């Protein structure tokens, strides 16, 4: 059975700190794996994957029912009915907890601004599939957008995402933006440069802005030192 990736390219993250790239908050279907290659916000809204359901699970009635709920949930999400999609994903999770189903449930919580619930679902997904950089990226997004923003925890998950997918330009860009918001400008500049090297052209503007901030700080420091010496 072919498995489908669906991207929701209108989901942007870290609005409180900078204009950043889209998070990976698009659902995936059971039988597929979460994407680990670079994904740009300008990419097409849909992508098909070639994956098959193992015969042993295909004959499991519970798995089949969970898969049906998962597919129906994604259909509802494509139609813009996020609440109906969430209910179907929750039903799928109740029947068969899988990393993909929990990931998709987190997507619906995120779009309904239920950030604590989204974080919990993605953490459970990570427990079942620790190698997913997308889950860590999305958790970082939720921590930033939560009513009580936690950039420290966002950085923790972005660093993990970067270690899992070091050549991903969007992860590098998002990590740079949060570092910039936290005032860690030298580290931010390094990450913006990495993202530009990996193909994120809009990083060039941020490189100029952060470089100007660093120069301003150095000039201010030099001025203060000059006053003390005079």
Between CA 84 and CA 105 the distance in angstroms is: 11
Q: What is the pLDDT of residue 49?
A: 22
| Other beta carbons less than 10 A from residue 39's beta carbon | 23
154, HSE (Cβ side, Cα atoms, 13 Å): 28
What are the backbone angles phi and psi of residue 48, rounded to the nearest 5°? -100, 140
Q: Domain range for residue 29?
A: 3-229
Q: What is the pLDDT of residue 222?
A: 84
114, HSE (Cβ side, Cα atoms, 13 Å): 14
Answer whether 59's CB lies under 8 Å from 13's CB.
no
Q: How many domains does the chain have?
A: 1
Domain of 30: which CATH number?
A: 1.25.40.10
Answer whether 191's CB lies under 8 Å from 161's CB.
no
| Other beta carbons less than 10 A from residue 13's beta carbon | 27
Enumerate the β-bridge partners of residue 4.
48
- How confident is the prediction along the chain (230 residues), in pLDDT tens digits per residue? 332 223 233 333 332 333 345 556 655 544 444 432 222 322 222 222 222 344 445 578 888 999 999 999 999 999 999 999 999 999 999 999 999 999 999 999 999 999 999 999 999 999 999 999 999 999 999 999 999 999 999 999 999 999 999 999 999 999 999 999 999 999 999 999 999 999 999 999 999 999 999 999 999 988 877 777 66
CA atoms 7, 11, 13, 19: torsion sign: positive
Q: Residues 87-113: pLDDT tens digits? A: 999 999 999 999 999 999 999 999 999
Identify each DSSP E strand in the chain by its residue range.
3-6, 46-49
């Amino acid at each position: 059975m072919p498995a489908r990736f669906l991207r929701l390219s209108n989901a942007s993250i870290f609005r409180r700190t900078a204009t950043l790239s889209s998070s990976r908050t698009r659902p995936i279907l059971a039988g597929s794996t979460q994407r680990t290659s670079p994904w740009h916000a300008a990419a097409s809204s849909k992508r098909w994957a070639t994956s098959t359901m193992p015969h042993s699970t295909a004959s499991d009635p519970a798995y089949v029912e969970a898969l049906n709920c998962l597919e129906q949930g994604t259909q509802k999400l494509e139609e813009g009915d996020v609440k109906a999609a969430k209910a179907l994903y929750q039903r799928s999770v109740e029947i068969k907890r899988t990393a993909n189903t929990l990931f998709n449930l987190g997507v619906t919580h995120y779009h309904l601004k239920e950030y604590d619930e989204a974080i919990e679902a993605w953490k459970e997904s990570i427990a079942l599939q620790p190698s997913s950089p997308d889950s860590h990226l999305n958790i970082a997004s939720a921590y930033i957008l939560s009513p009580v923003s936690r950039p420290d925890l966002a950085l923790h998950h972005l660093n993990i995402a970067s270690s899992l997918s070091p050549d991903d330009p969007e992860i590098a860009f998002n990590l740079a933006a949060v570092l910039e918001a936290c005032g860690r400008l030298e580290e931010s500049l390094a990450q913006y440069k990495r993202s530009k090297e990996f193909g994120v052209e809009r990083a060039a503007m941020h490189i100029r802005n952060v470089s100007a901030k660093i120069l301003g700080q150095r000039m201010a420091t030099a001025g203060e030192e000059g006053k003390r010496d005079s």
